[in-house]
Amino acid sequence: MAKGGMGFRKGIVFAFIAVIAAMLGCLFVLLSLVTVGAQDTGPGKTTGSTGIIVGFSQIGAESAWRKHNTLSVHEAAREKGIRLLYENAEQKRENQIKAIRSFIAYRVDVIAFAPLVADGWDNVLREAKEAGIPVLAVDRKLETSDESLYAGFIGTDSLEEGRNAARFIIKKFSSGAPYKRYRTEPIKIVEIAGTAGSSPALGRAEGFREGLAGHDNFEIIYSEDGDFLRSRGYEIANRILDEFPVIDVIYSHNDSMTLGLIDSMKEKGIRPGKDIVIVTIDAEQAAIDALRNGEVNCVIECNPKLGPAIMDLAIQLAEGKEIPRLLHVEEQVFTEDDPDLDSIPPRGY
């Protein structure tokens, strides 16, 4: 009897401990989500005066462009009184899916995310839709089987960026000298592309080819995915500069990769911007400086300052309003032909 009574009491104690542990577990998950929002909003306080909560899933921190984009989102949220839950996916789609699920569980008002690659989001977007949470695609575009799975897109026009790269090259080589080969054989172009399957890599490649179409005097002799990383730009350049006896132009999908390839060219005694024409996208300060000192020939802007527009759209969505399906931000092209490169204001990234 006494033994049986002890066992019963032990059982109750264990059950009690298990319930407390489960409750503590739930509390921990909840608190960690709250602190993710609080910690990552950067210096200063997020007042959250609008009462709106936005979950933002960023791709990573692969470039100065990306870091500035993250900063812009944080600053805008703070300025507009929006509470931000921020997650960095460290270049992994599965991390972005996990982050979006956590935002759904937290019941944020709006989800904004920069999709690493264009496809593979249907399931998680359907979950957000079923939970009644509008999703805004930012910076990179999405491909879905059902357009109603997200509210809209705000970002840059990567097709146009690619077309602008082609326009510059056509104009530069149309003048003939000093590229005499132009008259007898095609200009040889190498493309260092961004992350495979990402909308900017797809758009910049497509727009470039579209721009060159009908101009037989240009030939893309090689293209490789450099994942938007400086280290990959360096690595690829190291290899191709030895492999191809003649390269007239390198078209690089972002400045980080360009800076890497410039390092490699210099090590090999090749003069960037002179021996090989360099066209790059983003317009980071370092690329503008390289344009000024003649190491880059054309810089196409990709604007990372999307924060204020994202927050304005998020407010409209949280209020149940419709937003435009597609919004492109304004961008400029800077070239060696610009009369006053010194007057370009500091880029901030």
Binding ligand AHR (rule: CB under 6 A), the pick from 56, 65, 121, 234 is 65
Asked if 63 is part of the footprint of ligand AHR (rule: CB under 6 A), the reply reads yes
Asked if 228 is part of the footprint of ligand AHR (rule: CB under 6 A), the reply reads yes
Asked if 139 is part of the footprint of ligand AHR (rule: CB under 6 A), the reply reads yes
Binding ligand AHR (rule: CB under 6 A), the pick from 50, 66, 226, 236 is 66
- CA 214 vs. chain centroid, Å, equals 31
Residue 141 DSSP SS3 = coil
Helices (H), the chain: 2-39, 64-79, 93-106, 122-130, 158-174, 199-212, 230-243, 255-267, 285-292, 307-318
Applying CB under 6 A, which part among 16-24, 63-71, 209-217, 238-246 lies near ligand AHR?
Answer: 63-71
Asked if 282 is part of the footprint of ligand AHR (rule: CB under 6 A), the reply reads yes
Which residues between 140 and 169 bind ligand AHR (CB under 6 A)?
A: 140
Asked if 258 is part of the footprint of ligand AHR (rule: CB under 6 A), the reply reads no
Asked if 316 is part of the footprint of ligand AHR (rule: CB under 6 A), the reply reads no
Q: In what order do the strands lie in the sheet with 218-225?
A: 218-225, 187-193, 249-252, 277-282, 298-301, 333-335
Residue 346 DSSP SS3 = coil
Which helix H or strand E contains 117, and what residues bound it?
Answer: none
Sequence-ordered list of residues with C-beta below 8 angstroms from that of 53, at least 6 positions apart, any chain: 37, 82, 83, 84, 85, 106, 108, 109, 110
3-state secondary structure 22-45: HHHHHHHHHHHHHHHHHHCCCCCC
Binding ligand AHR (rule: CB under 6 A), the pick from 58, 62, 96, 138 is 62
Asked if 191 is part of the footprint of ligand AHR (rule: CB under 6 A), the reply reads no
Applying CB under 6 A, which part among 27-35, 59-67, 183-191, 240-248 lies near ligand AHR?
Answer: 59-67
Asked if 281 is part of the footprint of ligand AHR (rule: CB under 6 A), the reply reads yes
Residue 63 DSSP SS3 = coil
Supply the minimum distance, in Å, between the C-beta of residue 297 and ligand AHR: 18
Asked if 254 is part of the footprint of ligand AHR (rule: CB under 6 A), the reply reads yes
Q: Which two tokens stand for residue 121?
A: 């989001």
Residue with Cβ nearer ligand AHR (6 or 61) = 61
Supply the minimum distance, in Å, between the C-beta of residue 206 and ligand AHR: 15
Amino acid residing at 176: G
Question: Residue 15 pairs with which residues in a beta bridge?
Answer: none
Asked if 200 is part of the footprint of ligand AHR (rule: CB under 6 A), the reply reads yes
Q: Footprint of ligand AHR on this chain (CB under 6 A)?
A: 62-63, 65-66, 139-140, 200, 228, 254, 256, 281-282, 302
